[in-house]
Amino acid sequence: MAGNLERIIQTKTIAIVGPGNVGGVLALALHKAGRRVTELIVRDDAESRRKTRPLAKKLGADVVTIASAKLDADVIWLCVPDGAIVQVASELAGRDVRWKQRVVLHASGALTSAELKPLKKKGAAVGSLHPMNTFVANSKPKLGGTPFGAEGDARAVRVAREIAKSINGNGEVFTIKPEAKVLYHAVGSFSSPLLISMLNVAERIAKGAGIVKPQALMRKILLQTVENFLRDGSAAAFSGPIRRGDVATVQKHLSALKGMPDAKRVYSALAENAIENLPVRSEKELRKALKRG
């Protein structure tokens, strides 16, 4: 077993299944880190092959399907949508490959390595390796410093951690227990998509105040707040009328938001969380103000 691990670390060959938005970024990062991406495994249609060829050319990789892939890389990393992982794992397990010599990972943040059960039954070491970053159109996230979450078989986790460190440089790699995987992923939801949802509320309120460039208004306070939080944590970064116990200002906010009931609900929910979990003054009076609305 140790010999297999050593071979995997030294040869550095990886195949990516699903080189889309996430998989493509990871493939390029692996290539930059000195890993050899041997195959980009795509759906069996001409359009998928066409879209993948430019990336394959950069990497010196072959564009193949599950049926035509050699699957001779030391590590096979599934970067397909969560709902497709089990099916893809089953299709891969149907190939006559020496799976005992392979580590198979998937990139889901919410699902565990149990999704790869068909390959585990074939003898592969299985795990999950997820980059805690955001991947959206028109953006090329830099993976240097990006934390990764690793979970799965001991051998798969050791290999996954080593791969992650080669990509993220000085970034953290967190080993996640299977039962904590969904909570781990929820942290990411609060850190990006739900944060954007909250900022959408602020954006709409700004427009309601006649401000045509909400981002310009919010940029400095938002960046400073994030910097304070990352340096000192939520309690130290918390400021404003709720922390001061300024009940009159909170009441004014609630009154002004009556014309935007959805925004008012968000404000009240976040204010209640702050009263419950962050340092505030005049707690009882603030609670009464929120109930009165």
Does the structure show a pLDDT above 90 at 257? yes
Task: Mention every residue, 6+ apart, whose C-beta is less than 8 A from residue 172.
Answer: 147, 148
Task: Please check whether residues 117 and 53 belong to one and the same domain.
Answer: yes
Q: In the structure encoding, which two tokens stand for residue 287, read together? A: 């609670």
Does the structure show a pLDDT above 90 at 106? yes
20-73: pLDDT as tens digits: 999 999 999 999 999 999 999 999 999 999 999 999 999 999 999 999 999 999
Instruction: Examine residue 186 and state whether it is found in any structural domain, yes or no.
Output: no
Q: Give 3's pLDDT tier (boundaries 50, 70, 90).
A: low
What pLDDT score was predicted for residue 139?
Answer: 80
Domain boundary among 178, 200, 215: 178
Strand partners, 62: 39
Domain count, the chain: 2
Supply the CATH number for residue 38's domain.
3.40.50.720
Does the structure show a pLDDT above 90 at 258? yes
What pLDDT score was predicted for residue 8?
Answer: 47
What pLDDT score was predicted for residue 142?
Answer: 85
Task: Please check whether residues 43 and 172 belong to one and the same domain.
Answer: yes
Cα(47)–Cα(76) distance, integer angstroms? 23
The fraction of the chain above a pLDDT of 70, given in percent, is 96
User: What phi, psi does 259 have (nearest 5°)?
Assistant: -80, -5
What pLDDT score was predicted for residue 80?
Answer: 98
Q: Domain range holding 282? A: 191-292
Q: Which of 45, 51, 59 is nearest to 20 (CA)?
A: 51
Cα(144)–Cα(181) distance, integer angstroms? 23
Instruction: Examine residue 126 and state whether it is found in any structural domain, yes or no.
Output: yes
Task: Please check whether residues 251 and 205 belong to one and the same domain.
Answer: yes
What pLDDT score was predicted for residue 2?
Answer: 52
Neighbours of 199 (CB within 10 A): 14
User: What phi, psi does 152 have (nearest 5°)?
Assistant: 135, -155
What pLDDT score was predicted for residue 61?
Answer: 98
Instruction: Examine residue 218 and state whether it is found in any structural domain, yes or no.
Output: yes
What pLDDT score was predicted for residue 208?
Answer: 96
Task: Please check whether residues 246 and 214 belong to one and the same domain.
Answer: yes
113-143: pLDDT as tens digits: 999 999 999 999 999 999 999 998 888 788 9
Average pLDDT over residues 103-120: 98
Instruction: Examine residue 185 and state whether it is found in any structural domain, yes or no.
Output: no
144-196: pLDDT as tens digits: 999 999 999 999 999 999 999 999 998 899 999 999 999 999 999 999 999 99
Does the structure show a pLDDT above 70 at 9? no
Is the CB of residue 78 less than 8 Å from the CB of residue 89?
yes
Instruction: Examine residue 255 and state whether it is found in any structural domain, yes or no.
Output: yes
What pLDDT score was predicted for residue 4?
Answer: 57
Average pLDDT along the chain = 95
Q: Which of 34, 27, 43 is nearest to 12 (CA)?
A: 34
Cα(240)–Cα(277) distance, integer angstroms? 15
Say what the pTM is. Answer: 0.92
Give exposure, 235-250, as e/b (b: 16+ Cβ within 10 Å).
eebbeebbeebbbeeb
Domain boundary among 148, 178, 208: 178
What pLDDT score was predicted for residue 224?
Answer: 98
Domain boundary among 150, 178, 206: 178
210-229: pLDDT as tens digits: 999 999 999 999 999 999 99
Q: In the structure encoding, which two tokens stand for residue 181, read together? A: 């995987």
Instruction: Examine residue 20 and state whether it is found in any structural domain, yes or no.
Output: yes
Instruction: Examine residue 183 and state whether it is found in any structural domain, yes or no.
Output: no
Q: Which of 34, 36, 31 is nearest to 74 (CA)?
A: 36
For every residue of the chain, DSSP letters joined together read -HHHHHHHHHH-EEEEE--SHHHHHHHHHHHHTT-EEEEEE--SSHHHHHHHHHHHHHHT-EEE-TTT----SSEEEE-S-GGGHHHHHHHHHTS---GGG-EEEE--SS--GGGGHHHHHTT-EEEEEEE-S---TT-----TT--EEEEESHHHHHHHHHHHHHHHTT--EEE--GGGHHHHHHHHHHHTHHHHHHHHHHHHHHHHTT-S-HHHHHHHHHHHHHHHHHHH-HHHH--SHHHHT-HHHHHHHHHHGGG-HHHHHHHHHHHHHHHHHS--SSHHHHHHHHHH-
Average pLDDT over residues 254-261: 96
